[in-house]
Structure 1
Amino acid sequence: MKLKPSLIALTIGASISPLTYAADDTMIVTSAGVSGYLAESDSARLASGSASRLGLTDKQTPRHTETISAGTITAKGKRTLTEVVETAAGMSGTSAPTLSNSVSLRGFSGISWLLNGVEVPGSTIQIADPVHYENVDILYGTGSVLNGLSSAGGSVNLISRRATFGRQPFEVDYSWSSDNSHRAHLGAGGTLLDGVAAGRMDISASNIGTQVEKERSRPQRVSAQLLLTPTATTQVTFDIDRSLTDMRNPYFGTPVINGKVDRDLGHVNYNNLQDAHIRSQATSFQSTQSWYATPDLTFDNQFYYYKGFREWQNVERYYPSQKAGYVTRDSYGDIAHDDKLTGNRTMVTWDRPIAAFANRVTAGVDFSKREFQYYSNGFPGGEDVLLTRPASNDFRTGAGGKMRSPVRHITQNQYALLLEDNLNITDSVALLSQLRYTSMDVRWHYQQDNKTLERSYNFMSVGVGPSWAINDSWTAYTNYSMGKEPGSDIFFVSPQQTSLPLTDVQQYEAGVKGTFDRGEMKLAVYHLQKKNLFQRSATQAGVWNAVGKQTSRGIEFSATMKPLDSVALAGNVAYTHARFDDFKQGTQDLSGNQPRYIPAWTANLSGRYMPIDKLGLGAQLHYVGSSYNDDANTNKMGDYTTVDLNADYEVIKSVTVGTRVRNLTDRFYTWQRTYAGQEMIAPGRTYEAYVNMRF
């Protein structure tokens, strides 16, 4: 079950007219023209605490942020969260089967995923169809000052579709694509009782295939929100979200043979077991109560609950056998994650000048408890199979009959004190200050060893950022932020690692944001560093040390423009220089190496042309530079560029049909996120036809 904390204003619904189209992730191109959109964008708040809990606009926020709207997600036909975020400046990633750490940003693999401002554990949420989101907000760099332990590279905040009292058209979306894939979505919302209650519900279901033999995914999802305004000064929202996913024979990659991946193996699935699968179910519920006590004083309370269960049976690793024409496949994993999070956050916001200076301050407290149960069979088994025609046996036989059992149970109790202040020093200069004190108690019960360990963590996260409104259109800013991140996933550390300190994260950032006559742009430069990386001891087996250091610095630029009323352009480019300053794994010195999955360059360019009012033509280019599939930098992944085309036509009012071609040139390339000796072959050219209806 799920709920979302939309607080103050419930803006216009997430529906778009059939011809509305997002040229990129920030500009909606409609007949109203770019100036009308920019006015709306400038007043829009970064929802649900994506970068601040003070309800600041993007221009008022001294951090690099990007917002991807529901209109963009629908118009571009985004099918997964990876597809939604991968074309943002500096993002790269792929939908690996486990979806763990599948996206990198600012030189670090793995980002934090939040639902309506609450960091959601596990990866079940990443599988859900993104059509259920109002916005997808990206915060670049550490988010510790908002969320406690947070990934260094960035955070993605998923904002649920909103109930409003305004008109929300009934939405019907259907698409058919290559490999006999289908997606369907129904959505509706609006007033239930005038001035008192409004609702919103979305339902989606898909049946998706790929070029890989036997691979198929069937996600289903229902989300709903109820908005109540019992008095003129109170507002209550209830959000519930339920998702189910059944993936059959998920593709884990193709073995690297003689230093390369054979294109002819692109359809071969070495995880072709008769019962290979990944299944998940997740329920989220959130409830937010807001009381506007006075025009200057607001009280907000958000209760949140999440429960997710995920299990998989697969054979995951493949590498050349000593027998010619054969591949060794092993790591028969029978795994399950059972995750539960319960918490409550209370905030008080006061909008009151200090002397002659406008000032807005918020303070609050957040309590949460997370329980995590991990099951595993230890990934046993292995066999040689034909390179081109691997045998298809059942899982139990390949795993030698060894099935999963309880491995560890972790309990994490946390409370945090939150404080933010935005002080307008002058009419054009403001200072945003953010503090978070986090106290966390973790208890690890290693069930197979019957060993219990406990550890308490207490730390302060700080963010300080001045901004200067150069004029009504342009703002410059700087920012310093610091926080904490586990040196490894705190729920998967070994008993020897529980005594190690948390990883320190520091970031310096400067940038400029602005709008011009027919567009807008953002530029950010940063220096980001992590200390206390976990390293295996070179002399003592099972012993780890927290002594490593990794640095990343780079520049991100994005812009949108509308040079003609019928033409819209958007693009971004990012350069990332990421290196291990000091890092050893056992006897292997990785200092100076480039971390895995981190391309130096990424770039995106998209365009939209409307030769007539009813017809739209679009094109998108996506470039990802080369990177490594291992920290030792022995396996280099090639760079790649893909081209997508699309066209849509409004057949009758409120009904649009269209078509898309993804990877037009049928570019062959591989992407990362599996084992070091194998790579995932990306999908080739695919076709899609769709219809969008709004009534």
Structure 2
Amino acid sequence: MPAPASLFSPRAVSLGLSCLVATATPVARAQTTPSTTLPAVKIRASAPEPNGRLQLDLPADTGSRLGLTPRQTPATVSIIDRNTIDTRGAQDTQEILRAVPGITAHNAPGNIGVSYRGFSGGSVTQLFNGIHLQYTIAARPVDSWIYDRVESIGGPSSFLFGAGGVGGSINYITKLAERHDISEARLRLGTQRLKEASVGLNRRIAGDGSGAGDHHIRIDLNYRRADGWTDGTGTRSTQLATSLLSDLGQGVTHTLAYEAQDEAVDRPYWGTPLLNPPGASLRVDPRTRDKNYNSADGLYEQRVQWLRSITDWRLSDSTRLKNTFYAYDALRDYRNVESYRFDAGNTSVIRSATLLQRHDQRLVGDRIEGSHQGQAWGHRSDWAWGLDVSVNKQTRFPNSLPGTVSTVDPYRFDTENFFDIPGMKRGFRPDRDNKVTTTALYLENRTALVPALHLVTALRHERIKLELKNRREVTAASPASFQRSYHPSTGRIGLVWDLAPGAMVYAQYATAADAPSGVLSTASFSDVRNNSELTTGRQAEIGSKLDFWQGKGTATVSAFTIRRKNIATQDADNSALTVLVGEQSSRGVELAVGLKPAAGWSVQGNVSRVDAQYDRFRQGGISLAGKTPTNTPETVANLWVSYAFAPSWQASMGVRHVGKAYADAANTMSWSAYTLVDLGLSHQVNRNISVVGRIRNATDRLYAANLTSTMAYLGAPRTADLALRVSF
């Protein structure tokens, strides 16, 4: 199989040049602006300290573009900062998400899934530095080392980031250059031959530290290699994040950032076959827990590159302009046999679903935005506005074979090399090009109606043009080309009432738009022809955020109801067609609490209960009204406790409970609820050196992270690792 393009290919270099050219004009024009004071810098300690309180008073771009904190925002907004990531030992972006109430996630190779408030897939927007890739598989787990924090907002949020986000939006925010020196490194070793090395450096490379003329560079690099817990699986990944921060004077700063991710998985694990008969409670044979039925040389590879050019111009203390040019390039290759099922007597495993696939995706865009803090009719009134233009193009190269590949003994077997499968040929043949061009205008406002009562509003209008180009045979079902346009308008209106110092209540109503099936960047000709409109989502939410116990505790609580209409459902009169009359809804409550009860103690927890169902939906000619969507547990709860029992020692424990989930939309098959326990022990050797040992899934619980009607994608068994962290 041809290797993906080099990270430093001519295409990557051309993206970099485009990035530099795009920002030259704004920087030059900004030189006449009066100077302003640079923001204060916080220096992080060399070792993370337990902090039980929730992050309610840090500005979060994911909840609003007005620079509001979670406490000021009429929505459920979570911030998982770098300190929390480190103290909990979150290995990748999916483990970080456990800190968000109600979220479940899995990393099955071809079906990266996040469920939030009863919705999943393209209905949960996953962003990278506020940029929407419009493709769910693009959100594969990434090692946590290169990220500064992760933010989220629950419920419809298309008014912030564009079509999608009915269930919520998640934003992974990369570390960027700062105005002080940082030197840190980590070495981690563990079971399954885990070897990981990470380093982070931040330095001033020019200037005298006074502001104008200063240039700071940051480099964060991570390399990881490990065997999988299933036979023959092995992973190798490298993450690089580097950025240059330049203080150009006259209130202008510029950041040029480049990121690269290179991942290869040998013989990826796709799942474990379920025992027959399936019954109401699904099971797997424990003896197949570590079996891998993929081809002997199965493969998943991806190479991802990001370029961002961010120009920030502070015209005054109250007015700011910002321009972000961004470019994304990704190439993903698959070579696998992906489906396995037991025969009726559970004596053999039937292997099928042969797929050779390549995804080639490029995204280029520019966002111009501004903010102003002012007055309206004698009241404080802050504004944010922006224009976002992007072009997202993806070409897919699928080559699949129908039918059974082989039938093997469940416990003792050998599998073939992929290209030894009869009928499978090397090389890639493009199927179609999907080009999504988006132009969006947005506006937000926060006005103090009275000193303790604020009205928060937002409105976004998008012009989306989807163009499909057929790269294969032209037929009536697959014409040479086809295009369709969408014009969604979405918004939010909310009230925030400050009841007392440290306590507020809020109410909000928000809307969203979403593709009827899948995402537009992978939509087929039939999707576009039959689904002429985007779905609509609406949410009503009330909640509160407060401090209590004389500042030792913080809490957030919310109750919500969401309804999504016009989803694609099977035509009652013709099962071969879909119509936009389906409906799906969810309602639930979320609670998060953080405590610092005494010196050395830290306690945080969250719990969510959601009642998600189809209100109008058909599959196989059968109505599924009242049924729960697949892989959507009713209850998700997390608890983290840490205790510094000696001056240089700290013990920690994490407990996660996930409720029952269904494998089919008819709700005839389910996996029982499960509870996981993680343990940790850290020792601060001296000011600059710490050692942390962790046991994950300490009880070795066998559980399904994702389900289909024939397979369970199992979570990892018990693992252990030891990490040495150094600051210098």
Q: Counterparts of 1:446 and 1:72 in 2: how far apart (Å)?
A: 47
Is the aligned partner of 1:562 residue 2:596? Answer: yes
Bigger Cα displacement from structure 2, 433-442 vs 252-261: 252-261
3-state SS of paired residue (1:98): coil
Give the match for residue 439 of structure 1.
463
Is the aligned partner of 1:626 residue 2:685? Answer: no
Q: Cα gap change, 1:99/1:197 in structure 2, threshold over 3 Å: closer, same or farther?
A: farther
Give the match for residue 157 of structure 2.
143
Q: Counterparts of 2:192 and 2:43 in 1: how far apart (Å)?
A: 30
Is the aligned partner of 1:515 residue 2:529? Answer: no
- Does structure 2 conserve the Cα–Cα contact (< 8 Å) formed by 1:551 and 1:578? yes
- Does structure 1 conserve the Cα–Cα contact (< 8 Å) formed by 2:444 and 2:458? yes
- TM-score w.r.t. length of structure 1: 0.93
How do residues 35-74 of structure 1 correspond to structure 2 at under 5 angstroms?
Answer: 41-46=55-60, 49-74=61-86
Q: Counterparts of 1:414 and 1:350 in 2: how far apart (Å)?
A: 25
Q: CA deviation at 1:691?
A: 0.8
Q: Counterparts of 1:542 and 1:308 in 2: how far apart (Å)?
A: 34
Candidates 283, 290, 304, aligned match of 1:267:
290
User: For residues 253-275 of structure 1, what are the alpha-carbon distances to aligned partners after superposition, in whole Å with 9 as ceiling and x for unaligned?
Assistant: 1111122211111111011x232
Candidates 371, 375, 387, aligned match of 1:365:
387
Give the match for residue 336 of structure 1.
358
- Does structure 2 conserve the Cα–Cα contact (< 8 Å) formed by 1:22 and 1:76? no
Candidates 407, 410, 414, aligned match of 2:438:
414
Q: Cα gap change, 1:502/1:141 in structure 2, threshold over 3 Å: closer, same or farther?
A: same
Give the match for residue 37 of structure 1.
none
How do residues 124-143 of structure 1 correspond to structure 2 at under 5 angstroms?
Answer: 124-143=138-157
User: For residues 610-636 of structure 1, what are the alpha-carbon distances to aligned partners after superposition, in whole Å with 9 as ceiling and x for unaligned?
Assistant: 111200010111000001012121220
Q: Counterparts of 1:9 and 1:211 in 2: how far apart (Å)?
A: 49
Is the aligned partner of 1:118 residue 2:131? Answer: yes
Give the match for residue 91 of structure 2.
79
Q: Counterparts of 1:482 and 1:8 in 2: how far apart (Å)?
A: 38
Give the match for residue 238 of structure 1.
256
The code of the aligned residue for 1:619 comes to M
The code of the aligned residue for 2:76 comes to H
- Does structure 2 conserve the Cα–Cα contact (< 8 Å) formed by 1:419 and 1:434? yes
Q: Counterparts of 2:403 and 2:120 in 1: how far apart (Å)?
A: 29
Q: CA deviation at 1:42?
A: 5.0
Candidates 217, 241, 245, aligned match of 1:199:
217
Candidates 402, 405, 408, aligned match of 1:385:
408
Q: Counterparts of 1:263 and 1:424 in 2: how far apart (Å)?
A: 60
Is the aligned partner of 1:153 residue 2:167? Answer: yes
Q: Cα gap change, 1:367/1:14 in structure 2, threshold over 3 Å: closer, same or farther?
A: farther
- Does structure 1 conserve the Cα–Cα contact (< 8 Å) formed by 2:436 and 2:521? no
3-state SS of paired residue (1:448): coil
Give the match for residue 255 of structure 1.
273
3-state SS of paired residue (1:498): helix
- TM-score w.r.t. length of structure 2: 0.89
Candidates 660, 666, 685, aligned match of 2:718:
685
3-state SS of paired residue (1:510): strand
Give the match for residue 495 of structure 2.
466
Q: CA deviation at 1:230?
A: 0.7
3-state SS of paired residue (2:725): strand
3-state SS of paired residue (1:127): coil
User: For residues 330-373 of structure 1, what are the alpha-carbon distances to aligned partners after superposition, in whole Å with 9 as ceiling and x for unaligned?
Assistant: 00111111111111111121211112200111222111111110
Is the aligned partner of 1:227 residue 2:240? Answer: no
3-state SS of paired residue (2:375): coil
Give the match for residue 181 of structure 1.
194
3-state SS of paired residue (1:623): strand
The code of the aligned residue for 2:423 comes to G
- Does structure 2 conserve the Cα–Cα contact (< 8 Å) formed by 1:152 and 1:505? yes
Q: Counterparts of 1:153 and 1:284 in 2: how far apart (Å)?
A: 26
Aligned residues: 673
Candidates 636, 659, 666, aligned match of 1:602:
636
Q: CA deviation at 1:414?
A: 1.1
Q: Counterparts of 1:9 and 1:57 in 2: how far apart (Å)?
A: 20
Q: Counterparts of 2:620 and 2:528 in 1: how far apart (Å)?
A: 18
Q: Cα gap change, 1:324/1:222 in structure 2, threshold over 3 Å: closer, same or farther?
A: closer
Q: Cα gap change, 1:380/1:227 in structure 2, threshold over 3 Å: closer, same or farther?
A: same
Candidates 105, 108, 113, aligned match of 2:116:
105
Bigger Cα displacement from structure 2, 386-395 vs 277-286: 386-395
- Does structure 2 conserve the Cα–Cα contact (< 8 Å) formed by 1:13 and 1:163? no
Candidates 152, 155, 165, aligned match of 2:179:
165
Q: Counterparts of 1:642 and 1:214 in 2: how far apart (Å)?
A: 26
Q: CA deviation at 1:74?
A: 2.2
Give the match for residue 534 of structure 1.
568
Q: Counterparts of 1:265 and 1:570 in 2: how far apart (Å)?
A: 36
Q: Counterparts of 2:542 and 2:372 in 1: how far apart (Å)?
A: 28
- Does structure 1 conserve the Cα–Cα contact (< 8 Å) formed by 2:575 and 2:621? no
Candidates 483, 487, 491, aligned match of 1:454:
483
What percentage of residue pairs aligned between the two structures are identical? 25
Q: Cα gap change, 1:598/1:11 in structure 2, threshold over 3 Å: closer, same or farther?
A: farther
Q: Which runs of 5+ in 1 are unaligned?
A: 28-40
Q: Counterparts of 2:487 and 2:139 in 1: how far apart (Å)?
A: 28
3-state SS of paired residue (2:526): helix
Give the match for residue 209 of structure 1.
227
3-state SS of paired residue (2:450): coil
Bigger Cα displacement from structure 2, 535-544 vs 239-248: 535-544
Give the match for residue 34 of structure 1.
none
Is the aligned partner of 1:652 residue 2:665? Answer: no
